[in-house]
A and B are shown apart, each in its own frame.
Chain A
Amino acid sequence: MKTPGATTTSISMPDLMTAWLRSHRNVAIQSLSNLLKNWLTSLMTMMVLGIAMGLPLLLYILLVNVLNLSENFDGKPRISIYLNKQLEEADIKRVLTVVNEHSNTQSFRYISPEEALADFQFRSNFVDVLNTLASNPLPGVVELIPSYTDPVKLRSQIMELEKLQEVDTVLADLLWIERLFSFIKLAESVVILLALILGLGVLLVLGNTIRLSIENRRNEIEVVKLVGGTNSFVKRPFLYLGFWYGIGGAISSWFLVHICLLFLSGPVELIAQSYRDHYALVGLTFLEGLVLFAVSSALGLLGAVLAVYRHLRIIDGSL
């Protein structure tokens, strides 16, 4: 008894492969042209998807901009390292090497006790008082500007510095930076939460759209199955439909976000000017754009898969 698979058709293996690819290409084009044929309905669905994805995206972009601002901000924390008094030249060199070699050091400056004294004399009115002192009361100080303002990194850096024998105390104003970071963390969580909720919304919208499309083409599905269409052949157009919806949703959310940024760029520039600064809002980078398209088309595909598996089983049962 022959296996049923062997009696399919007279098509040989390589032909089957090209036939499969051809079928995919045809279906992809056909489902796209179906979408374009009913462009108004498609556009509306895509705009719903665009809004659902655009909201968390916009928040994310704003967050990126806030982070950007805080990086460029002149109020970066400075770490002041007060050295012990009466250090040898070699000891100071050792401290400076340690500071220099730390991964989180952007720049640093050593202020010797003499320089500090001269500076102090220059700035204050205590010249006379200072002159009465037998020795220079000021310690040497290393002023350090860290590369990253992440409070966790700053804390560990400070701890390391404090361990040095030559170091007396290390001072840094961490409080406001910690607050800023906890706000940013909160905002990040909000973005993630929103993205999850609205991602679910995208899935539901797509699932419903594709369910309707399956219902509309129920007759076609039945006929295709009657004349020997495989389940994957039946499913394929709907999966591509989901994929195209995803792409359309990505495009519309991209536009939404950039229109919003355009709208916001004026007020932002005004604020920047009031601080005698200049700041241009950043939009999506190329890579972020790619991620947007990948995520969106994946969501589209997933929504389609869910709808197709649920509803084709019903149709299967009715045959």
Chain B
Amino acid sequence: MILFDNVSKRYPGGKEALSDVSFGIQAGEMVFLTGNSGAGKTTLMKLIIVLERATKGQVIVQDVNLNRISAKHIPAIRRNVGVVFQNHQLLFDRNVFDNVALPLYIAGFQHREVGRRVRAALSKVDLTQKEKAYPISLSGGEQQRVGIARAVVNRPSLLLADEPTGNLDPELSKEVMDLFIQFNQVGVTVVIASHDLGLISRLNKRQIKLHEGKLL
């Protein structure tokens, strides 16, 4: 599903965020990406959705070599990956339904199909009642669940989450993690960047540990 082969990423200005990182993630796996802030977790995620490009090495995701694709094909790559952000990245000028529906509008789904899929996604994250609400009126946990619903509404085979529980208390964190586990159980490959080590150790999943841009 994901293959990093001797990947290095150097930002303009000289700082090497990743150096010679190699690993593979099988389809259907659930993997945690751990390490301190600045260890390169976010950079690694950015490489997977081509927000950044590797300076060296190969990044291959879903059989596509991301180093070789043109800018024109980047949107197609991103549509096959669901991404959950720490700061949710919700749009505050539209309600929950329209936020979740955004990837479907982009992919050009029919109106009826959009409604069906959005409601299915909202029911998975238990927010069916909040469909008409605006994000501003939701709690932090609810906002994060809207973000998750948006990430899975297009039924991607790969789900990335960058510090999805970063701003949540332990109970809400557990709820959110449970959601990811459920998606993984139906076959979705899940990669979660997190430094919530307590929570991770209880889940007993594979960890990819980063330290100052190197694999531990």
Enumerate chain A interface residues (CB-CB to B < 8 A): 1-5, 7-9, 11, 15-16, 19-20, 22-23, 26, 219-220, 222-231, 233, 319
Bound: A228/B76 CA distance, A? 6
Q: Do A227 and B108 form a contact, CB below 8 Å, given A1-B64, A319-B51? A: no
Given the complex of chains A and B, what is the CA–CA distance between A147 and B85 in angstroms? Answer: 77
Residue in contact with B65 in the complex, picked from A1, A225, A233, CB distance below 8 Å: A1
Q: Contacts of B85 on A, CB cut-off 8 Å? A: 226
> Does B89 lie within 8 Å of A226, measured CB to CB?
yes
The reply to whether B106 and A4 contact each other, CB–CB distance below 8 Å, is no
Q: Is B109 interfacial (CB 8 A cutoff)?
A: yes
In the complex the two chains form, is B63's CB within 8 Å of A1's CB? yes
B89 touches A19 (CB 8 A): no
Which of B62, B73, B106 is within 8 Å of A227, CB to CB?
Answer: B106
Contacts A228-B77, A228-B80 known; 17 new A-B pairs at CB < 8 A: A1-B65, A8-B76, A9-B79, A9-B80, A11-B108, A22-B108, A220-B91, A220-B93, A226-B49, A226-B78, A226-B89, A227-B102, A227-B106, A227-B150, A228-B107, A228-B154, A229-B106
- Which of B65, B91, B107, B110 touches A223 (beta carbons < 8 Å)? B91
Which residues of B from 62 to 83 have beta carbons under 8 Å from A?
62-65, 69, 73, 75-80, 83
A19 touches B109 (CB 8 A): yes
One of A4, A26, A222 near B77 (C-beta < 8 A): A4
Please report the C-alpha to C-alpha distance between residue A20 and residue B62 in the assembled complex, in whole angstroms: 26
Q: Can you list 26 A-B pairs, Cβ within 8 angstroms, ordered by A?
A: A1-B64, A3-B64, A3-B73, A4-B77, A5-B76, A7-B62, A7-B63, A7-B77, A7-B80, A9-B107, A15-B108, A19-B108, A19-B109, A26-B105, A219-B91, A223-B90, A223-B102, A226-B49, A227-B83, A227-B103, A227-B150, A228-B78, A228-B80, A228-B154, A229-B75, A231-B75
Closest to A16 in B: B108
A8 and B79 form a contact (CB under 8 A):
yes
Q: How far is the CB of A161 from chain B (nearest CB, A)?
A: 68
Residue of B nearest to A30 (CB): B105
CA A26 – CA B109 in complex, angstroms?
Answer: 12
Which listed residue (A22, A233, A319) contacts B106, Cβ 8 A? A233
CA distance A229 to B91 in the complex (A): 15
In this complex, the interface size class of chain B, counting residues with CB under 8 Å from chain A, is 20 to 34
Chain B residues whose C-beta falls within 8 Å of the C-beta of A20 in the assembled complex: 108
Q: Is the interface of A mostly helix, strand, loop or mixed?
A: helix
Q: Is the CB of A226 within 8 A of B83?
A: yes
Q: 6 closest A-B pairs (Cβ-Cβ)?
A: A19-B108, A228-B79, A228-B78, A4-B73, A230-B75, A8-B76
A41 CB to nearest B CB, Å = 16
- Whether B110 lies near A22 (C-beta < 8 A) is yes
Name the CB-closest residue of A to B73. Answer: A4
Contact between B103 and A228 (Cβ–Cβ < 8 Å)? Answer: yes
How far does the alpha carbon of A16 sit from the alpha carbon of B76 in the complex, in Å? Answer: 13
Nearest B-chain residue to A26, judged by Cβ = B105
**Complex Cα distance A229/B83, Å?**
14
In the bound complex, CA of A220 to CA of B49 (Å): 18
Closest to B52 in A: A319
Asked if residues A224 and B106 are in contact (CB atoms below 8 Å), the reply is yes
Most buried by B among A9, A219, A227: A227
Nearest CB of B to A236, in Å: 11
Nearest chain A CB to B211 CB, angstrom units? 27
Residue of B nearest to A21 (CB): B108
Inter-chain contacts of A319 with B (CB < 8 A): 51
Chain A residues, CB < 8 A from B80: 7-9, 228
Measured CB to CB, the closest approach of chain A to B215, in angstroms, equals: 25
- CA distance in complex: A8, B108 (Å): 12
| Chain B residues within 8 Å of A228, by CB | 75-80, 103, 106-107, 154
Min CB gap A288→B, angstroms:
39
Question: A31 to nearest B CB, angstroms?
Answer: 14
Least Cβ–Cβ distance between B11 and chain A, in angstroms: 14
Report the separation of the CA atoms of residues A15 and B110 in the bound assembly, to the nearest whole angstrom: 9
Asked if B79 and A4 sit within 8 Å, CB to CB, the answer is no
Interchain nearest-CB distance for A80 vs B (Å): 74
Q: Which residues of A contact B154 (CB under 8 A)?
A: 9, 228
Contact A7 B106 (CB under 8 A): no
Contact B107 A5 (CB under 8 A): no
